[in-house]
Amino acid sequence: MKILVAVKRVVDYNIKVRIKADGSDVDIAGVKMGINPFDENAIEEALRLKEKGNASEVVVVSIGSAANQDVLRHTLAMGADRAILLETDVNVQPLGVAKLLKAMIEREQTKLIMLGKQAIDDDAGQAGQMLAALLDYPQGTFASTVQIEGDEIVVTREVDGGTETLALTLPAIITADLRLNEPRFVKLPNLMMARKKPIETINASEFGIDLKPRLNLLKVSEPPARKAGIKVGSVEELINKLRAHEGIQL
Q: For residue 88, which amino acid is it?
A: T
Q: Are 134 and 102 in contact (CB under 8 A)?
A: yes
Which of 61, 64, 12 is closest to 36 using CA atoms?
Answer: 12
Can you tell me which of 46, 47, 49, 62 binds ligand AMP, judged by CB under 6 A?
62
In whole angstroms, the minimum distance from the beta carbon of 107 to ligand AMP comes to 15
User: Does 44 interact with ligand AMP (rule: CB under 6 A)?
Assistant: no
The window from 124-132, 198-206, 208-216, 223-231 that contacts ligand AMP (CB under 6 A) reads 124-132
Can you tell me which of 3, 11, 35, 38 binds ligand AMP, judged by CB under 6 A?
38
Can you tell me which of 35, 63, 104, 172 binds ligand AMP, judged by CB under 6 A?
63
User: Does 72 interact with ligand AMP (rule: CB under 6 A)?
Assistant: no
The window from 61-69, 153-161, 213-221, 238-246 that contacts ligand AMP (CB under 6 A) reads 61-69
Can you tell me which of 27, 54, 57, 126 binds ligand AMP, judged by CB under 6 A?
126
Cα 136 from chain centroid (whole Å): 21
Can you tell me which of 2, 3, 8, 146 binds ligand AMP, judged by CB under 6 A?
8
Beta strands in the chain (DSSP E): 2-6, 9-11, 18-19, 26-27, 33-35, 57-64, 82-87, 112-116, 139-149, 152-159, 162-169, 172-176, 200-203
Q: Residues 13, 19, 20, 23: is their CA dihedral positive or negative?
A: positive
In whole angstroms, the minimum distance from the beta carbon of 63 to ligand AMP comes to 4
Which of 74, 56, 57, 52 is closest to 7 using CA atoms?
Answer: 74
Can you tell me which of 94, 138, 140, 183 binds ligand AMP, judged by CB under 6 A?
94
Nearest residue (CB) to ligand AMP, 63 versus 153: 63
> 145: burial class by Cβ within 10 Å (0-12, 13-18, 19+)?
middle
Can you tell me which of 4, 35, 39, 104 binds ligand AMP, judged by CB under 6 A?
39
Other beta carbons within 10 angstroms of residue 168's beta carbon come to 20
Q: What is the CA radius of gyration of the chain?
A: 22
In whole angstroms, the minimum distance from the beta carbon of 138 to ligand AMP comes to 17
Binding site for ligand AMP (CB under 6 A): 6-8, 36, 38-39, 61-64, 92, 94, 97, 115-116, 118-119, 122, 124-128
